[in-house]
Structure 1
């Protein structure tokens, strides 16, 4: 009988101990659920505040906020071209920087005639490295640069293994994606600091968020821009400088022409014109954003994906794009 009583007491003690553990686990679960609910509400608020409210209120006076002139690199096509037009529609004078003089002149005339603003062009090939910057600095010195849009960038011919890249392509990624933005900021920033106002927009990529196989060097160069922008904000926000990192997903531009899946414009892969129209409304509001509401949803979801799952998914996607481009042959 004593043995039975002892066994009963043992079960009772085990039950008390389990109840204690269950209560602890329940508390942890409740805290986690509360955290996830708070995160969801906050993310929803961020989405609405960034991409919908600014479209309902009066457009910000960018000239008053930042200055008379904006410099847009890679400004003859894609995001750069339409971002320049959006700025010009708000009466900001535009300096277009690219390597194709004919396209620069045509776009500068179009912007000047359409939006009645001043325009200027600078013909430069950023892939030539450090030798181009002294002359470029001399041209910019007498302008009140209020906004700098570092849009110029290069991609692979198509997603591919790192070892398949040529030396020329690797140096192009370094010179254009990293070097150009860094040096352009270094040239215009002192004037912004002196005037205590200005905005810098560095266009990165969603591939910067986590390691992205088959875009290894490209995503790394865009991760540099993202970290560069975020650190720069902490240095110069107290001096009145707004620094923004734009991290879009795929946009239908020349960079995506290797794929028939990415070339057609749709809600998920918008045209450069649609993207720029959305992105400009986030200027001065968010220092790190995709610039486009559907891409923001993807970005918010991507934050909760483990690195291994992101790498697995992007590898499969990029390998499919690689095979598609390979079958199509040279572009």
Structure 2
């Protein structure tokens, strides 16, 4: 019996070591993405002629639009504010020479998708970036203290994702190629107090994306959940860029190098490193009122400082 236990423990130890080594190797690819897999310049163009980006009037959506245009795709911009759409479209056309189509749509509404689908008829869409999203309140606060914008948030963060994916995916699958990038959030990978409903909505994006990748990977699809930490955008009140706070342009450019890395990515090396650290913190730490209040003060103070400086 003693010998059997020793063999069993040795086997379990070997399995643990093997899993650890595999995780380390998989993590190293973020340091050297071009050595792990080199994407040819024509990779995104090979998926189709057009890329569709929701919430592309500014922030991460705008950055993805520019980056995909630079990589050879024509762009469909979908957002609420017509003036922003027209400005971004003009800048992309002048900078890259690619075609740009704009669709004005408010994703907090439910009755917009027939018009969007009709506007996309005849376009060979190779990339969909489900970027649009909203916060009930930009500053962290407890659920009952948030403004009651629940329906708008659910429509924008969840309904838009499922509807746009359905519209685009059904034309990708027959061609057996296409990329769907769903912008979730790092706070969607764990329960995040003070951002409860936003965290939950982004958890839907995360699990929905992973499940769809399981369903459609064999059909040639790449469906990836992108889960960034802080990115300097209007939603984050233009937080000052730093080692772990990326500009939208930096984030979009780097995350596109990781599209073949699996069903989920934190989008950039800095955020991958930060995620490994955050995963070491037990969830019970966040149950402390003291910790929550400190986080609230720290995040609010940082955002208000950024707002005053803009």
Shift of 1:141: 1.8
Q: Which residue of 1 aligns with 2:295?
A: 318
Deviation of residue 86 (structure 1)? 1.1
Change (3 A) 1:324 1:50: closer
Answer yes or no: is the 8 Å Cα contact 2:55–2:133 preserved in 1: yes
Show CA shifts across 1:40-97 (max 9, x none).
4333322332452328945442344311100000112111111111111110111011
Does residue 111 of structure 2 align to residue 111 of structure 1?
Answer: no
User: Is it true that 1:92 corresponds to 2:68 in the alignment?
Assistant: no
Q: 2:206 maps to what in 1?
A: 226
Residue 304 of structure 1: CA displacement? 4.0
Measure the CA separation in 1 of the matches of 2:39 and 2:160.
Answer: 34
Q: Which residue of 1 aligns with 2:115?
A: 135
Give CA deviations for 1:201-257 in whole Å, capped at 9, x if unaligned. Answer: 000011111111111000000000001001111111111111000011111111222
Match of 1:301 among 277, 286, 295: 277
Question: How big is each residue's C-alpha offset from its partner over 1:138-186, in whole Å with a ceiling of 9 and x where there is no partner?
Answer: 101221111100001112221111011222x212210111111111001
Match of 1:65 in 2: 46
Query: 1:11 is matched with which residue?
Result: none
CA RMSD of aligned residues (A): 2.8
Which of 172, 183, 186 aligns to 1:192? It is 172
Residue 7 of structure 1 corresponds to none
SS at match of 2:26: helix
SS of equivalent residue, structure 1 residue 284: coil
> Are the structure 2 counterparts of residues 134 and 263 from structure 1 closer, same or farther at C-alpha, using a change threshold of 3 Å?
same
Between structure 1 and structure 2, the one with the greater Rg is 1
* TM-score (norm. length: structure 2): 0.88
Instruction: Indicate which of 232, 257, 260 corresponds to 1:281.
Output: 257
5+ residue gaps, structure 1 = 1-16
| Deviates most, 54-63 or 207-216 | 54-63
Aligned with residue 267 of structure 1, among 214, 236, 243: 243
Name the SS for the 2:232 alignment partner: coil
**Residue aligning to 1:149:** 129
Q: Give the CA deviation at 1:316.
A: 5.0
Are 2:173 and 1:178 aligned?
no
C-alpha distance in 1, partners of 2:22/2:291? 27
Quick one: structure 1 residues 69 and 311, their matched pair in 2 at CA, closer, same or farther if it must change by over 3 Å? farther
- C-alpha distance in 1 between matches for 2:226 and 2:71: 20
Work out the CA distance in 1 between the residues paired with 2:287 and 2:11. 30
**2:44·2:127 contact (CA, 8 Å) conserved in 1?**
no
- Structure 2 equivalent of residue 3 of structure 1: none
**Which residue, out of 285, 291, 296, partners 2:267?**
291
Runs (4+) of structure 1 moved beyond 4 Å? 23-28, 30-37, 55-58, 310-314, 325-328
8 Å CA contact 2:44, 2:73 repeated in 1: yes
